[in-house]
Structure 1
Amino acid sequence: MTMYRWNILALLLIAPSLINCAVIVNDGDIDEQGLYSKSDHVVILTQRNFERRVYGQSHAAVVQFYNSYCGHCRAFAPKFKSLAAEIVPWRNIIQLKVIDCSVEENNEICREFEVMAYPSIRYIHEHYVKGNGNVGDRIIMTDTAEKLKAQLINKMHTEQSMGRLAFAPKFDITSYATYAAALSGVPFDTSYTFLVFENENSTIGSELALDINDYKQVIVKRVYDTSELAVVAGLTHFPGLVAVHSTLDTTNLTPKNTAKQNLLRAVNTYLKSKHYTFPVRDIADQDVLPYEHSDENNQRTSDSDTVYYSDLEKTLKTSLHTEITRHKSLSGEALNALLNYLDVLRTTFPFKNNNLKDYIEDLYNTLQSRNQWSGSDIYDLVKRLETAHAPIFNTQLEYIGCKGSQSKYRGYTCGLWTLFHTLTVNAAQKSGTKGPKVLAAMHGYVKHFFGCTECSEHFQAMAARNRLFDVKENDKAVLWLWISHNEVNLRLAGDITEDPEHPKIQFPSVSKCPECRLARGAWNLPAVYQYLQNLYGAASIQEYRRARSAASAPSPFSNLDIGMLSLLYILSFLILILVIKYFFTKRFYRKRHYKHGMGKV
Structure 2
Amino acid sequence: LIRSNTCGASNCMAFLPSPPMAVSFRLKIAILLGLLFGQAQSARLYTEEDPVVILSSDSLKQTVFNSSSAWLLQFYSSWCGHCIQYSPTWKALAGDVKDWEQAIRVGVLDCAHEKNFDICKEFGIHFYPTFRYFKAHDNTNDYGKTYHGADRELQTVRQLMVNFLQNHTKQDWPVGCPPLDPARPEDILSLMGKKTEFYTAVIVEDKDSYIGREVILDLMPYEGLAVKRTLSSDKLLMEELGITSVPSVYLFHPNGTHTIMNVQKRLRFFFSSFLKLLPGNSPPRPCSVLSLGRMDWEPRSKVYMADLESGLHYLLRVELATHKTLEGEELKTFKDFVTVVAKLFPGRQSVVKLLETLLEWLVSLPLEKIPYDAILDLVNNKMRISGLYLSEQVQWVGCQGSSVALRGYPCSLWTLFHVLTVQAANRPDALANTGFEDDPLAVLQTMRHYIGTFFGCQECGKHFEEMAQESLNQIKTVDEAVLWLWRKHNQVNARLAGSMSEDPMFPKTQWPTPDLCHTCHEEQEGLHVWNEQMVLAFLKQHYSASNISPKYSSNSQPDPGPPAPDKPKAITKPNNNGHLNQNLKPSPDNIPKHQKRTDISGAGEKHIGVQIEARPGMGFSSLDMSLCVLLYAFSCVFLMFMFFFFRFRSKRWKARNYRPYV
TM over 0.5: no
Q: TM-score, normalised by structure 2?
A: 0.37
Higher helix proportion: 1
Greater Rg over alpha carbons, structure: 2
Output the TM-score relative to the length of structure 1. Answer: 0.40
